[in-house]
Amino acid sequence: FTEKELINQSTELTEDEKRIVKSYLRKVDIRILPIVISIYIFSLIDRGNIGAALVFGLRATLGLTQSQEANATSVFYIIYILLETPSNMILKKFRPHYWFALIGILWSTSCILLSVAKNATTFTLLRGLLGAFESGYAPGVIGYYNYWYTRSEIGLRITLLFFAAPISGIIGGPLASKLASANFGRFKPFQAIFLVEGSITLLLSITAFFVLIDYPDEAKFFTPEEQTLILRRLKNEQGIASQTKVSFRQTFKILQDWKIWTFAIITLGLNNLPIVTGVFGPTIIKAMGYTGTQATNISAIPSACGLVGLTLILYLINKIEYWLLIFMFGSLTGVSYAIVAFATNNTLRLFFLCLAGFGGVAVIPVILTWISANQGGVYKGLIASGITISAGSVCGIVTPRFFVAEYAPKFTNGHVFTLAVLGLAIGLSVFLGIYFRKENKRRDNNFVDVSHLSEEEQRNMYDKHPEFRYKP
Confirm whether 316 is domain-assigned. Answer: yes
Query: What is the 8-class DSSP label of residue 405?
Result: G
pLDDT band for position 304 (50/70/90)? confident
If one counts the domains in the chain, the total is 2
Same domain, yes or no, for 75 and 221?
Answer: yes
Backbone CA torsion sign across 102, 105, 108, 113: negative
- Report the pLDDT value the prediction gives residue 275, as an integer from 0 to 100: 79
pLDDT at position 139, please?
93
Q: What pLDDT score was predicted for residue 6?
A: 67
| 339 and 228 within one domain | no
Query: How many CB atoms sit inside 10 A of residue 408's CB?
Result: 12
In a domain, 5, yes or no: no
The angle at the Cα of 159, spanning 390 to 253, to the nearest 5 degrees, equals: 40
Pairwise CA distance, residues 369 & 310, whole Å: 13
- 3-48: pLDDT as tens digits: 444 687 767 889 999 999 999 999 999 999 999 999 999 999 998 8
Q: Phi, psi (5° rounding) for residue 258?
A: -65, -25
Greatest mean pLDDT among 74-83, 271-280, 370-379: 370-379
d(CA 382, CA 91): 9
d(CA 320, CA 99): 35
Counting Cβ atoms within 10 Å, is residue 213 exposed (0-12), middle (13-18) or buried (19+)? middle
> Which structural domain, as residue segments, surrounds residue 112?
16-243
Give yes or no: residues 402 and 262 share one domain: yes
pLDDT of residue 4: 46
Using alpha carbons, select from 280, 236, 250 the residue that is nearest to residue 395.
280
453 assigned to some structural domain: yes
Statement: residue 340 has pLDDT above 80: yes
Domain CATH code at residue 383 = 1.20.1250.20
